[in-house]
Amino acid sequence: MSKKFILIILLLGLVLSIPFWSRQASSPMGSYPWQIEVHEDGLSTVFGFTLGRTTLAEVRRELGEGLKLALLSTDKGDDSVEMYYSHFTAGRISGRLVIVAELAADVISAMRQRAIRSGGAHTFRMHSDDLPVAMQAPIKTLTFIPLVDLDEDIIIQRFGQAHEIISRNDKLSHYLYPQQGLDLILDKEGKEVMQYIAPRDFAKLRAPLETIPDKQ
């Protein structure tokens, strides 16, 4: 199992465990998950936020305070600073939103040394001195986990034909859209996961899938 898939499963479990907030965060302009604007510089805008440019502080100003900010650490050393909204609406589609900050590995490592374990073996509360740095970091990836179940017909209808489909087994498949910077994971027995990254950085999402046999 790839490190990236382990991290996604960890994120999903963590997000589902976050208490609900009374405020419902909604994407600016009511944009839907398939409304992805690609820019000439290789960046992209999803839900009104530009990956690689919009900061976590700007997301918070837009969506409000109903969030969780934490440092996640895996046994493989894939540490990351992430912000979570347990109630998020993209257009009319409700779900959960995970926002990963673009921070250098040495910066995250230093934050990890000052962080306090909170809410589980892999979750840490950041030191107050590190919060300004984290909030000024741009978005690295966005992950949207819709509450509604999708199937292949809906995916093709809304997102178009995938450039590539990589199946892990008969239940789990990655629908890859490199030009839009999207890895859409179709799970026939669980929740779908849409992971967005700037198109110019799509190889970072594709690389962990190299070991998965292509069953397209």
Q: Is the pLDDT of residue 127 over 50?
A: yes
- Give the pLDDT of residue 169: 84
What DSSP character marks residue 10? H
Q: What gap in Å lies between CA 189 and CA 72, rounded to an integer? A: 26
Amino acid, res. 158: R
Quick: pLDDT tens for 4-57: 444 444 444 444 333 333 345 766 656 899 999 999 999 999 999 999 999 999
Q: pLDDT per residue over 131-140, tens digit each?
A: 999 999 999 9
Query: What end-to-end distance do the CA atoms of the chain give, in Å?
Result: 19
Q: Which of 48-57, 73-82, 121-130, 166-175 has the lowest mean pLDDT?
A: 73-82
pLDDT value of residue 72? 93
pLDDT over 90 at 146, yes or no: yes
Q: Residue 69 above 50 pLDDT? A: yes
CB 142 within 8 A of CB 97: yes
Can you give the residue ranges of every domain in the chain?
3-209
Mean pLDDT throughout 109-128? 87
Question: What are residue 49's DSSP bridge partners?
Answer: 46
Highest mean pLDDT among 2-6, 166-170, 184-188: 184-188
- If one compares 15 and 66, the residue with the highest pLDDT of the two is 66
In the chain, pLDDT over 70 holds for what percent of residues?
A: 81
pLDDT, one tens digit per residue, over 72-106 is: 987 777 899 999 999 999 988 999 999 999 999 99
Q: In 168-204, at which residue ranges do the beta strands (DSSP E only) sit?
A: 172-177, 182-187, 193-197
Per the prediction, the chain carries an average pLDDT of: 85
For residues 8 and 59, which has the higher predicted lDDT (pLDDT)? 59
- When pLDDT is cut at 50, 70 and 90, the band that residue 210 belongs to is confident
